Each structure stands twice: as C-alpha cells, then as structure tokens.
Amino acid sequence: MSLMGKIALITGITGQDGYYLSALLLGKGYELHGLVQPLVYDDTHTLAPFLDQITLHRCDLCDGGAITRILNEIKPDEIYNLGAQSHVGMSFDVPEYTTNVNALGTLRLLESLRALKLENTTRFYQASTSEIFGDTPPPQTEHSLFNPRSPYASAKLYAYHLVKNYREAYGFHASNGILFNHESPKRGYDFVTRKVTRAVASIGVGQKECVDLGNLNAIRDWGHAADYVEGMWLMLQQEQADDYILATGEGRSVRELCDVAFSCIGVSLTWIGEGEEEKGIDRLSKQVRVRVDQKLFRPLDVENLRGDPTKAQEKLGWRRKTSFKETITEMVKADQSCLIYDIKRFG
C-alpha cells in the first residue's frame, strides 16, 4: 500500500532505530524528515543508503524554539520521537543532560504541537522503554509496576506519563511504545550485544584475546530492531492511541549472550569461578575469552527484564520475526565483514 503524501518526522534518525524506521517509512512512500543534532558533524553516514530521500533538520531536542520552528515548517502527520541519550550506564554520569533530552525533549515536542494547534492532526510515537519497570519481576506487562533504577529510566518514565497526560487532557493521538532491548548490526558499540559481537569477530581473526564485561547475570529480552520499528508504525495507524509493549517474551543472561556469540566462531565456552573471578574459557584451547571487570558494573542495575507482548500481538497484529540466535549471528557476521574490510585496506 502506498501512503504517498504522508509526512513523517523522526527525531534520533541517525541512531539504530532511526535507520530501520527510515527504511520502513520510505518503503511505504512517506515524505521523510529527520532531526539531527547540530554540533555532531559526521553523524549522517549511517543513513547513507537513504540520504538523498530524507530532509534533515539540524536541531537539538534541548532547543524548544528550533523545534517549534521546524514543526511549523513541516507540519508532519506523524512524529516518531526516538531522539535520546540512550545509554543507561552513562545516564549515571550525565543525569541532568539525560533528563533534559529524554524527559524535557518530549515535553518540548508536545508543547510545540499544542502551541501550533497540531494536536488533532499530528500523531506522536514516544520511544519508551522496559527500563521503566526496573526491578518489577517478569514477565512485565502494560499493567506492571514502574520502578525506574537509573536517571535514564526516570527521565523516560516522566516522558511516558507526559504522553498519557497529553492524550487524556488535549486529545493527542500519542502512544508509548514500551520496547524491550532490540539489537542489530546498527547497534551502538557501547551496548553489551554489540560489544560482545565485535569482540568475538576480533577474537576470531586473532586481533584480540578476550572481552571484559560487567554484570554477567543481568537478564534481558533481546529482539531485532527491524521487527520493532514495524510495531512503532502500527501503533500510529490505529484509530485510538494507546501504550504497547514490544518484546519477544524470552529472557537470556549476558552469559548466555556470550555463549551464542562465541558459538558463531566455533568456540564453546565453559564458565568457571564466581563474581569478579568468573571467567568464560574456550573449552578446547583453554584460553580465557571473557573476564569480569568491576569497573563495568553500574551503581544500580536492572536484573531481569522479560516482556509480555500479548497486547501488541492481539491489537496490532505485531509479530517478531527474527530469533535471538539469528540476530546475534547477523551481528557477528556484520562485524566480521567490517573487520575483514579494515584488514584488507589498512593491514
């Protein structure tokens, strides 16, 4: 179905989800606009395949005046608010900035829409997160208790409530997508999946011996970003706005993530020791491939996230298509290709 004529704005378009959502919306015939941070000059290469089809606007989510001006110019039918300081660990180091972008950034967008009287014409997607559940036990549903355990999650919870407030107070078509972790070859290098798949690729060609990690016990519900952006789009196509969890329903520890990633290069790990002394060892060569580094632990972590996607499945018809193993294998292969290219080019 062609949706020619619909205009969408993606904030955070240069991030992982921005990439997959751009591909999806362009494929559906949208006129696409993206918000890009003004002071980051080399950040649009990730969008290379689509750059000539997207209109980019330099604007920080901390700049309310610029947001209003751009929204007035574009008057989008749909806004996908993906822009955020999205690193949970880093949010402990930069809590004020994280709050400014993740919480107040959302407020600025909603208030601009209200000031421009676009609340009845522009639909709004908010990138909410499973982190808002904190230590509430799994499986987490749309009715589970919120108990954020980081400045990142606290700021995202503020934005979550704001979206509901604007929906109920002013009739906005505004939805929260409460997304559990989703990964891909476009994932940032600081997130644990990408850190591990990149290390595995390097270890596979003998460029690295071992990867240092923090909390190996943390359990996450890891899906593929390409599947999750479909859910975002579906939320904005519903007659009524609402809040939905997108998740796989499967939880795995960081240790299990390592097992799967190392199996992609034919390495089977055996785990010995406990706590800081724990190590992942290559069963055959006996070489240490995973170590624990206390410095990589967060002041407070979320131990067990596993979402229940029933509502999205039943009301949106959303399905995840990619398995955990397929996702991690794709990431390892992509990291291997990058590495081989670098080795050929730079030696």
Active site residues: 129, 131, 152
Burial class (CB in 10 A: 0-12, 13-18, 19+), 282: middle
37: three-class secondary structure by DSSP: coil
Of 329, 179, 318, 313, give the one whose Cα is nearest residue 259. 329
Sign of CA dihedral 157, 161, 162, 163: positive
From 18-26, 66-74, 109-117, 208-216, give the range in contact with ligand F7E by CB under 6 A.
208-216
Task: For the CB of residue 40, give the shortest distance to ligand NAP in the complex, in Å.
Answer: 4
86 part of the interface to ligand F7E, by CB under 6 A: yes
Q: What is d(CA 108, CA 111) in angstroms, rounded to the nearest whole number?
A: 5
Angle at 175 between CA 77 and CA 85, to 5 degrees: 95
Task: For the CB of residue 100, give the shortest distance to ligand F7E in the complex, in Å.
Answer: 16
186 part of the interface to ligand F7E, by CB under 6 A: no
Angle at 85 between CA 83 and CA 87, to 5 degrees: 130
- Contact residues: ligand NAP, CB under 6 A: 11-12, 14-18, 35, 37, 40, 43, 60-62, 82-86, 101, 127, 129, 179, 181-182, 188
Count, in order, helices (H) and strands (E) of the chain.
11, 15
Closest CB to ligand NAP among residues 59, 267: 59
Closest CB to ligand NAP among residues 127, 258: 127
Closest CB to ligand NAP among residues 193, 336: 193
Q: What is d(CA 219, CA 256) in angstroms, rounded to the nearest whole number?
A: 9
Residue from 68, 215, 313, 329 binding ligand F7E (CB under 6 A): 215
63 part of the interface to ligand F7E, by CB under 6 A: no
Torsions phi, psi for 267 (to 5 deg)? -105, 125
Which partner, ligand F7E, ligand NAP, none, binds residue 309 by CB below 5 to 8 Å per kind?
none
Task: For the CB of residue 135, give the shortest distance to ligand F7E in the complex, in Å.
Answer: 12
Give the N- to C-terminal CA distance of the chain in Å, as an integer: 47
214 part of the interface to ligand F7E, by CB under 6 A: yes
Task: For the CB of residue 90, give the shortest distance to ligand NAP in the complex, in Å.
Answer: 10
Q: What is d(CA 323, CA 258) in angstroms, rounded to the nearest whole number?
A: 16
Task: For the CB of residue 215, give the shortest distance to ligand F7E in the complex, in Å.
Answer: 4
Residue from 13, 35, 155, 218 binding ligand F7E (CB under 6 A): 218
Residues that bind ligand F7E (CB under 6 A): 86, 88-89, 129-131, 180-181, 190-192, 195, 213-215, 218, 220, 254, 296, 298, 301
